[in-house]
Amino acid sequence: MTYYIKVLVLLVTSLLFGFFIGAYALEYYESTTFKPWTWSSPPVVINCYGPELSNIYLARGVDYWITRGESVSFIEEKFIKNVCAKEDIPGFIIMRKAAYRQLNSSTLAITKRKTTIMTGMVSATIYFQPGAYKLEHIIEHELGHAFGYTHVDAPGHIMNPIYENMTSKFWYP
pLDDT score, position 36:
86
| Cross-sheet strand order for the sheet of 120-128 | 74-76, 44-47, 92-97, 120-128, 109-116
pLDDT at position 31 is 66
Prediction pTM value: 0.85
pLDDT tens across 101-157, in order?
Answer: 888 888 999 999 999 888 899 999 999 999 998 999 999 999 999 999 999 999 999
**Which SS3 state, helix, strand or coil, does residue 8 take?**
helix
Which residue type is seen at 92?
F
User: What residues form DSSP beta bridges with 47?
Assistant: 95
Asked if residue 37 lies in contact with residue 119, where contact means CB atoms within 8 angstroms, the answer is no
Q: Which pLDDT does position 63 carry in this prediction?
A: 97
pLDDT digits (tens, 9 = 90+) for 19-77: 888 777 767 776 678 888 899 999 999 999 999 999 999 999 999 999 999 999 999 98
